[in-house]
Amino acid sequence: MRPAALALVHHPVCDRRGDVVTSAVTNLDIHDLARIACTYGVDRFYVVTPVAAQQVLVERILRHWREGFGAAYNPHRKRALDLVETAGTLEEALDRWEFAAGEAPMPILTGAGRKGLTFPECRRLREEHPLLLVFGTGSGLAPELFERGWRVLDAVQGGGDYNHLPVRAAAAVILDRLFGTVC
């Protein structure tokens, strides 16, 4: 299997009206997605935001848990947060992941209501390419990202007609389906 990484995109994403915006970084997303990624053997987790102040915030949070008291207090959290890097753009995250993986990664976009690759097809792609699973904050990735011709993963479907999971829950379900052990 080739390596895999996550990117949590804060721009360009949509708000609930469909306008393209930049969403705010949240502490919970950083912690929870890092722990989910580490649990499923993901190699990197990129927090993508063009806002310099938010990049500083992410680095401050990471420093607390990677060094000194935070690292000693909770070594499991340190291990998970060691996967996290900030990037100003998705292109920057792709470039860094290509350098780290040693070959060009295949970006895989995610989004509620989207159809594309099945989970088994995506698992097979990982045999041939490093993957970068791209998740959007707010109300999801902006349409311009889907216009790039990148592969799109089938949306997670529940048993009802409501389909808008929080990004942390969607990432956990997707990673379990892609990288978890089958019961």
- d(CA 76, CA 71) in angstroms, rounded, equals 8
* 17-76 confidence digits (pLDDT tens): 999 999 999 999 999 999 999 999 999 999 999 999 999 999 999 999 999 788 999 999
* 174, 130, 108, 136 alpha-carbon torsion, rounded to 10°: 70
What per-residue confidence (pLDDT) applies to 49?
98
Range of the structural domain that residue 34 is part of = 4-179
What per-residue confidence (pLDDT) applies to 112?
76
Domain CATH code at residue 85: 3.40.1280.10
* 78-129 confidence digits (pLDDT tens): 999 999 999 999 999 999 999 999 999 999 999 977 789 999 999 999 999 9
Q: Which residues contact 110 (CB under 8 A, 6 or more apart)?
A: 133, 134, 135, 136, 141, 152, 153, 155, 170, 174
Q: What is the pTM of this model?
A: 0.96
The distance from CA 162 to its chain's CA centroid, rounded to whole angstroms, is 22
CA end-to-end distance (rounded Å), the chain:
20
Q: Are 73 and 114 a contacting pair, CB within 8 Å?
A: no
User: What is the share, in percent, of the chain residues with pLDDT greater than 90?
Assistant: 87
* Tally of domains in the chain: 1
